[in-house]
Structure 1
Amino acid sequence: MSKVFCIDVAKCNGCYNCQLACKDEHVGNDWAPYARPQPEIGQFWIKVKENVGGTIPKVKIHYISQLCNHCENATCMKACGKNAIYRREDGLVIIDPEKCDGCKACITACPYEAIYFNEELGISQKCTGCAHLLDNGYKLPRCVEACPTDALMFGEESEMQDFIVGATVRRPETGNHPKVYYRNIPGKFIAGTVYDPIEKEVVIGARIRATNGGKTVEVRSDEYGDFWLKDLAQGKYDVVIEAPGFEYKVFENVDATKDVNLGDIPLARK
């Protein structure tokens, strides 16, 4: 039975507990034959990546925990000439610290930058899924156990299907078949504020439409004149703003490969 990690990005508040718990478990602790001690600096076997989009005041932040994906088709295993990397029956991929000769081929082969080199020991290292704990009666890796919002989950793949169906993985095009699944990673946004420059008041209830390739997303400006077109697929959008008594406002080819703040938008009266 294969173990998997499931990460709900919407629940992650960026507390970094998972990252700290991993350090606490592995820095200075020798868990051979699973892993030798993790260096105090330079390695993050689980790393919280902060993603900031937009510009002030239209800014949103989300956090994505990244770790070894314990891939079903792990390119690191294929690259290792010493057979130092193996997959356990539970699906966790382990680098044997006794067999590793420090050639770094696995580091180059990993498309997720999840493998680190320990200069002092001369070996490659990465997340073990806390296999040393699982083999001694623990149910969860330390990172999952430390998560206060249940954004991190761990269990049998067969029992996590409700989460996995509809989830995504990092870089699926590699063919590695990662076993770390993500839900609720936000798409891009286009935001702004509409106002009447004559009355010096915001415009409430303006209709804002963004169109890309025949697909249209529509929202209304709120009581502050703000609008957020959320979870957009990356691409270029034509944005049309209309409100009773005002001329149409059009923004063509808005590039939403990044989050966009259109700023304060004055509407001209008819």
Structure 2
Amino acid sequence: MKVFVIDVSRCNGCYGCQLVCKDEHVDNDWSPVAKPQPDMGQFWMKVKETVHGSVPKVKVEYVARPCMHCDHPACIRPEDQGAVYKRTDGLVIIDPEKARGKKELVDTCPYGAIYWNEALEIPQKCTGCAHLVDEGEVPRCVDACATEALKFGEEEEFKDLIAQAELMQPELGLKPRVYYVNLPKLFVAGEVYDPQANEIIENAAITLTDLATRQSWTCQSDDFGDFWFKRIVAGKYALRIEAQGFKPYAMTELNVDKSLNVGSIALEALK
């Protein structure tokens, strides 16, 4: 069975995968797996850009999103009589003839991967470039990825990567065959300084504690006085800063529902 494995940490946001998908499918008829994609309005491979934090503590991450080619696709319904089907290799295909006029299929996908082609009156989506796969090739998006962030092949081939991967919205129970490594998470960041000396403070011990689980993480401020806690989940946290010669500093509750820059924190020197 075929799978996609996407390493988000390797993606540099070139949008090459999105562009070559358009090049492969606009004005090209790959029947019986796909009719031509419109020039505008559809991105069967779509790169989602997310900006985390605020200046100067900012991270930009890119997540490539094709059809998830689920094992239990919400778009396959008995009443549609084969308008959408799953191939033996795992790729999910919308039959452009049987699906004609079935605009309601657009709303069946919780990932928003199905589009409506008004001119042809058919729902359309990523096919995993099934026409290329049948020739022994990989999808165009994978072939074009300069950083090898996108991989495609047999599940067994990528078992080590899959073991450390995550699924998009696993709670839906659809069992996607697109696996993500290093999916974006939230961060808490800031900097520590001495206002009297007007200098940053290196090697301050910063502790972040999850108020729900009581789990704690510790780091030290770097040569610029900066500190980062990366890849944390949303929740409520406490932050404590300690440095030799300074009074401890505490934030008793931080509501982290998005990446948070707590700013420049001044420590008071001991007398």
Listed as ranges, the matches of 1:45-194 within 5 Å are 45-78=44-77, 81-135=80-134, 137-194=135-192
1:27 equivalent in structure 2:
26
Q: What amino acid is the match of 1:209?
A: T
Partners in 2 of 1:17 and 1:138 — Cα distance?
A: 22
Identity of paired residues, percent? Answer: 52
Runs of 5+ in structure 1 lacking a partner?
A: none
Partners in 1 of 2:125 and 2:81 — Cα distance?
A: 17
2:196 equivalent in structure 1:
198
Alpha-carbon shift at residue 80 of structure 1 (Å):
5.5
Alpha-carbon shift at residue 51 of structure 1 (Å):
1.0
1:259 equivalent in structure 2:
259
Partners in 2 of 1:124 and 1:102 — Cα distance?
A: 8
Q: What amino acid is the match of 1:36?
A: K
Indicate conservation of the 8 Å contact 1:79/1:106, yes or no: no
Indicate conservation of the 8 Å contact 1:82/1:100, yes or no: no
1:184-237 CA distance string (max 9 Å, x none):
113211100110000000011101000012100111000110100111122111
Partners in 1 of 2:184 and 2:66 — Cα distance?
A: 19
* Pair 1:252–1:46, CA change in 2 (3 A): same
Alpha-carbon shift at residue 79 of structure 1 (Å):
6.6
Indicate conservation of the 8 Å contact 1:75/1:106, yes or no: no
| Aligned-CA RMSD value | 1.1
Q: What amino acid is the match of 2:147?
A: T
1:71-104 CA distance string (max 9 Å, x none):
0000101275242111111110100101113222
Runs of 5+ in structure 2 lacking a partner?
A: none
> Normalised by the size of structure 2, how large is the TM-score?
0.96
Q: What amino acid is the match of 1:46?
A: M
Which secondary structure state, in structure 2, belongs to the residue aligned with residue 160 of structure 1? helix
1:42-64 CA distance string (max 9 Å, x none):
00000001111000000011110
1:20-73 CA distance string (max 9 Å, x none):
110000001111111010011100000001111000000011110001011000
Indicate conservation of the 8 Å contact 1:80/1:105, yes or no: no
Partners in 2 of 1:255 and 1:9 — Cα distance?
A: 26
Q: What amino acid is the match of 2:138?
A: L
